[in-house]
Structure formats: structure tokens, C-alpha cells
Structure 1
Amino acid sequence: MSSTEEQKLAFLSSPRYAVVGASKDETKVGTKVLKWYVEHGKEVTPVHPKESEIQGLAAVPTLANLPDPTHTSVSVVTGPKVTLSVLEQAKALGIPQIWLQPGTDDENVTKYIKDNGLADKVVYGGPCVLREGDGLLKST
């Protein structure tokens, strides 16, 4: 099993999840990712700076507002500039695992991950949890 596979499995073994980038727009990938967690019976919190509720779930404005950040895996579905800020917050809060969905990273994000010792905690540069999640859950 590759280290990336191990990271994805560690990500999916979390007791809690958060999605940064979910919105009220059901056509957006962030909302589809949020719904995926709900459909799989996962405890998930949307993170949105302006919305208090998304898909019937109470939203929090930042990762710092999560009830238990050190036991929450975070899916990120944002542009690279916001992703960088999310990674900085996640590092400060001790978020255990992060999955950057496709299109959320760039060279600055990748450099931050490597320079800050986060390579073993961040899944990036690959497929979305929507594409791989079901298969990974079946393998656990």
C-alpha cells in the first residue's frame, strides 16, 4: 500500500469531518463533498465564513470554531489562496488529516506543505474523495 493510500485511509478513519468550501449552491463540488459525508453516515461540519447552515447542518465560520479540531479530518474545496490560509489554520490547530480536492493547490500550497512538515498529513495532487472514497471505505 502506498503512503498516499495510507494517508487516505487515515483520513477516512477520523471520528469527525469538516468541509471547507461547501456552500448553498448544490452544483458546487464542495457541497457534493459535504453530501457524500452525510450519505455515508459521517459526522460532518461545513466551514463557511458567512453561512450559519448548509444542507441542514450547522456551519462554523473557521476551523477554530470546530467542536474538536484535533479529531477532525478536513476536506478542502477552495481556490489555492484560500487553501493556503486553511493549511495555516489547520497546522496551528493540530488538525490530523487534510484532503485537498483537485484544483485547490498550486506551487505555493505544495511548498507550504513540504516546508511545514505536513506531507504526511495532507493528501493532494490526486483524485477527489468523491471518486475514491467509496472504494477506500470498502477496503477498511
Structure 2
Amino acid sequence: MSVDAAKEVFFKSDHFAIVGASKDHDKIGNKVSVSQGGGFTFYEWPREAYHACPVPVTCWYKEHGFDAIPIHPRESSVEELQTVASVYDIPDPTSTSMSIITPPRVTLQIVKAAILELGIAAVWLQPGAEDDEVKAWVDELDDCYKNRIILGGPCILVDGEQLLKDVGKI
């Protein structure tokens, strides 16, 4: 799997869906991850660093001027952005990249739908969203699919700025 190829595809999209966006401050989308010897440790994201934004990943996309689409089955909006209830409700999936911040137990079904059914441009599994089952499934994919998936590494809150520079977006 090529993270470099996936990040190129990821940031070429016109729209960015955030699966796992939530108003709940205790959810994983409100934490920053730091690699700790092969695993990840999660820390509270300092809200003041994001202007008291309750949903840092959603804010990251919003503050960088991206067309962000939070996905939440019950909320009508997250961070003043209109939500869609499901990945199947994304208006233009082939022009959309997806950031996934869900527990691993639900990530696999989301990734399968995004990549195989909807033709989502690229998927970025934020640290903690994948487990061995997800990694094994991705490993079995053809390269044309693998090159559209970022996993096992960068976090948008930590590495997003550098990745944008790497692909010439800033």
C-alpha cells in the first residue's frame, strides 16, 4: 500500500466527508493521537488551539477551506455544517475523499461501502479507526484500491499541514 499515492488522490478531491463527526467531546474525533512504539496514545486535543472548536477533525477541514461533509446518523449539523446521515447520502462520492474516525468495529463496513460500492476517491483512516481485521482486508485488495487508502500512520490533526505541503496544496 502506498500512503504517498493515497495522499495524492486524497487531496485532489473537491469534497471531504468526515465519518464519525460528532458533537460529543468525549468521542475519538476530539482527541489527537501520537505514535508510541507501534501503537497510538490518545490525548485530549487542546480546544483553545482550534478556537474552542468542539470537533477538531471537522474544524481542520473547515479551517483549511475544504468543502467538509460531516456524516452523523442523528445530528442535523456538526460545527455549523449540514450533515448527511450515511455514507450512502454523500452527494458526489467519486469527487469526495473520506476521513474515518470511527471505532474499528464499524470501520470495516464503512471502508467496504466507500471503496467498493460508492467509488469514494480516497479514504483516510485516522489512527485508532483500524484494527487487524481492517488491515488484513485492505492488504487483500488490488493495488488500484490500496492506493486510495491511508491507514496505519498519519493523523490529519498532526500531519495534515505537511501532507498538504507535500501535494502542493499550500
Could you tell me the TM-score, scaled by structure 2's length? Answer: 0.76
User: 99, 107, 115: which one pairs with 2:140?
Assistant: 115
Contact 1:22 1:29 in 2 (8 A): no
Tell me the percent identity.
42
The runs of at least 4 consecutive aligned structure 1 residues that moved more than 3 Å come to: 26-29
If asked which structure has higher relative contact order (CA below 8 Å, sep 6+), I would say: 2
* 1:32 partnered with 2:26: no
1:124 matched residue in structure 2: 151
Contact 2:72 2:83 in 1 (8 A): yes
* 1:134 partnered with 2:161: yes
Listed as ranges, the matches of 1:11-90 within 5 Å are 11-26=10-25, 28-30=27-29, 31-90=55-114
Q: What runs of 5+ residues in structure 1 fail to find an aligned partner? A: none
* Structure richer in strand, relative to its length: 2
Could you tell me the TM-score, scaled by structure 1's length? Answer: 0.91
Counting matched residue pairs gives 139
Structure number, greater radius of gyration:
2
* 1:99 partnered with 2:139: no
Q: Which amino acid aligns with 2:106?
A: V
1:23-80 Cα deviation digits (max 9, x unpaired):
0124644221110000000001001111111111110111110110111000000111
